[in-house]
Amino acid sequence: MKTRFQSLLYLVTDRQLAKKPVEVVVEEAIKGGADCVQLREKNIDTKEFVEIAQMIKYITDRYNVPLIINDRIDVALAVHAYGVHLGQDDMPLTTARKIVPHAMVIGISVSTVNEAIEAEKDGADYIGAGSVFPTSTKDDISGIIGLEGIQEIKKAVSIPVIAIGGIQIHNAEQVIQHGADGIAVVSAIVSSDNPYEAAKTLKTIICEAKSCY
């Protein structure tokens, strides 16, 4: 089993939902317990994306937290990010592997057992499985997989399964109990008035569910 990527609380940014500047949200979340940050920007030009990524990487490097870039391999390479996260409609994983350094982690979004098995076979380091619950933070959700979906995907692969989609404080424990290695959250932290406290609460829930203290 690959173990070079592990995360319990994986923050995915969204500046449109944030009540504070993205750099503030990221730093507060890390202080609260987020152990991986994915920078997701859908509607900005490359120059701005790189500038934001450089700013966020400065923060994640200070705390020794991995920075993952969503979709954009070029941006990930430009800022020497820890990894890149690709969706089903992005560049194929096998092609991406020919471009990125061997050390760069690649995560893949999946919503079915077959997609998860294929991702592992093609060399993914982890999968983002969802959407577990209904969510308004993504436009390309093919369906809600539910807690049972997480359970089935976890049984089918040996790489880490990070659950995503509609995960909040009130349902995070269930997600872990159904087999997720970690959870990825957007609004639960980004839209909070206090990202530090939100992250701290979520991390506590995860650790109690996994008995990792």
- How many folded domains does the chain comprise? 1
Task: Say whether 138 is catalytic.
Answer: yes
Q: Does the residue 72 lie in any domain? A: yes
Q: Which residue of the set 40, 72, 154, 200 is catalytic?
A: 40
Cα–Cα distance measured from residue 78 to residue 64, given in angstroms and rounded to the nearest whole number: 19
Number of Cβ within a 10 Å radius of residue 113? 17
Q: If you ran DSSP here, which 8-state letter would residue 125 be given?
A: S
In CATH, what number is assigned to the domain containing residue 166? 3.20.20.70
Neighbour tally for 137: CB within 10 Å: 19
**Rounded Cα gap, residues 170 and 153, in angstroms:** 22
Do residues 153 and 127 touch, judged by C-beta distance below 8 A? yes
Q: Which domain holds residue 24?
A: 9-210
- Position 2 in a domain: no
3-state secondary structure of 213: coil
Decide if 1 is inside a domain: no
Q: Tell me the whole-structure pTM to 2 decimals.
A: 0.95
167 assigned to some structural domain: yes
**40 is an active site residue:** yes
Q: Which of 7, 111, 131, 138 is labelled catalytic?
A: 138
By the 8 A CB rule, do 143 and 122 touch? no
Report CA torsion sign: 151, 109, 164, 159: positive
* pLDDT tens per residue across all 213 residues of the chain: 345 799 999 999 999 999 999 999 999 999 999 999 999 998 999 999 999 999 999 999 999 999 999 999 999 999 999 999 999 999 999 999 999 999 999 999 999 999 999 999 999 999 999 999 998 665 555 589 999 999 999 999 999 999 999 999 999 999 999 999 999 999 999 999 999 999 999 999 999 999 864
Q: Counting Cβ atoms within 10 Å, is residue 136 exposed (0-12), middle (13-18) or buried (19+)?
A: exposed
Is 151 within 8 Å of 133 (Cβ atoms)?
no
Residue 107 lies in a domain: yes
94 occurs within a structural domain? yes
- 76 in a structural domain: yes
User: Which of 7, 109, 131, 192 does the annotation list as catalytic?
Assistant: 109
Asked whether residue 57 is domain-assigned, the answer is yes
